[in-house]
Amino acid sequence: MSVDMAPSIGDLEGKRLSFQEQLELVKLPREGQAYRYMSTRSAYLPGSDFSKGKELPSFHTAAFGGHVYAQAGLAAYRAWREAEKDKGAQELERLDIHTINGYFTRIGLATRPFIYTASPVTASRTFSTVSVTASQPSVPSYSRSADHFPIEDASLPLYPPAFTALLSFKLPEPDWDGTVSEQEPPPQERFASILSSRKPEEWLPAPPVDITGVVEIVGDDQVGTFPIADMKKVDMKEYNEGKPVHQRRELLYYRLLKPLPDSEDGTSGYDANAHVLVHAFVADRNGLLMAGNHIGLGWSLGRAASLSYHFVMHVEAKAAVMREEDGWWMQEVWFPRAGRGRGIVESKIWSPSGVHVATEYQDGLIQGFGGKLLKEKDGQDSRL
């Protein structure tokens, strides 16, 4: 994700979109061997969605990085499915998303669409790769509302890519009896004493902008308009108290806002791989901001921006499917390294039944302000 200080665009409460609405793609004409797609909806803009009366005078200009990350994955997935269809691949021969390795090279603008170009790089029966780039028009959209982008936007001149990624696709392994599977105990067991204190839905909402100073100003009850998933943040303050940063943990429950197809029906364009992209979308939220809080920049964070983000699936895509009856999924987050203006965020994605489904590894800028005193808190000076 990326954060910079700039004017808020006001209150948008109540406009929470599903995966299908938020990440909808329109297919564009191919260019040679490259498949092309365009986004149709504005990317989520953190900090623009505080409830009325709680707006801040200035905040983000950069769109939520998880939008382009997941949507680029969707474009690459669609391109690979088209390539498989051209080859006549049968259902059991289809490959699933294995890894997404992404790099953020420009700030994304929420008021302009993303144009995706996806190209197969390598192709084999069991393991293949697809590259994808995301660019935005260098001039404003034809849309009067800066949303619901018209197809005419695809003909506008483009900035250099804002995001590039390489995805790998893998044939699912047979699920034979006796297959070796090892993992650490899930957080549902390790943090049972904390988690059992209330139901998942009773925890406070994950903050729209999880910066200590912002949360204290606007309150900890802000839901915002974060799309696709409902997220709750577990209170880990007592557990983290007195521990070095690398031993601290943040836990977030999440589940889909609206149902999402999990099997290809020939019309929806979605299958279990779309659920993989939901997890990747969610995992990018607030990670660098929480890292800033833990390293002492909760009242003086000047900038947080993703540089690279890697997402690895440890199971087949069907094991990532999110069904309402299964309950809440969990993201376990920690912060193993910070320095030289950068920080690392790692997290594990856990299923409701305690299966370690995926791992995230993110490197990004985490930088404080310099200058005049912003606030004195707990006997320490934080500088803005």
pTM higher than 0.85 for the full model?
yes
Residue positions counted in the chain: 384
Strand partners, 380: 377
Of 322, 358, 232, nearest to 286 by C-alpha is 232
The per-residue pLDDT for range 67-87, each reduced to its tens digit, is: 999 999 999 999 999 999 999
Confidence (pLDDT) at 95: 97
With b meaning 16 or more CB within 10 Å and e meaning fewer, what string describes 50-74?
Answer: bbeeebbeebbbbbbbbbbbbbbbb
pLDDT beyond 60 at 268: yes
Confidence (pLDDT) at 369: 84
Domain boundaries, the chain: 2-173+185-383
Confidence (pLDDT) at 14: 54
What integer best gives the mean pLDDT of the chain? 91
Confidence (pLDDT) at 380: 41
Average pLDDT over residues 226-251: 98
Confidence (pLDDT) at 11: 41
Burial class of residue 10 in the structure, from the number of CB atoms within 10 Å of its CB (0-12 exposed, 13-18 middle, 19+ buried): exposed
Contact in structure between 28 and 36 (CB atoms under 8 Å): yes
Q: Which residue has the higher pLDDT, 87 or 169?
A: 169
Fold of domain 2-173+185-383: Porin (2.40.160)
Strand partners, 204: none
Q: How confident is the model at residue 59 (pLDDT cuts 50, 70, 90)?
A: low
Q: What is the DSSP letter of 206?
A: P
Angle at 23 between CA 18 and CA 27, to 5 degrees: 135
Confidence (pLDDT) at 196: 98
Q: Which of 86-90, 256-260, 275-279 has the lowest mean pLDDT?
A: 86-90
pLDDT beyond 80 at 177: no
**Distant-in-sequence, close-in-space partners of 307: CB < 8 Å, separation ≥ 6:** 103, 104, 342, 363, 364, 365
Q: Which residue has the higher pLDDT, 13 or 61?
A: 61
Of 14, 10, 23, 8, nearest to 278 by C-alpha is 23
CA distance 316 to 73: 16
As a whole-number percent, the residues of the chain with pLDDT over 90 amount to 81
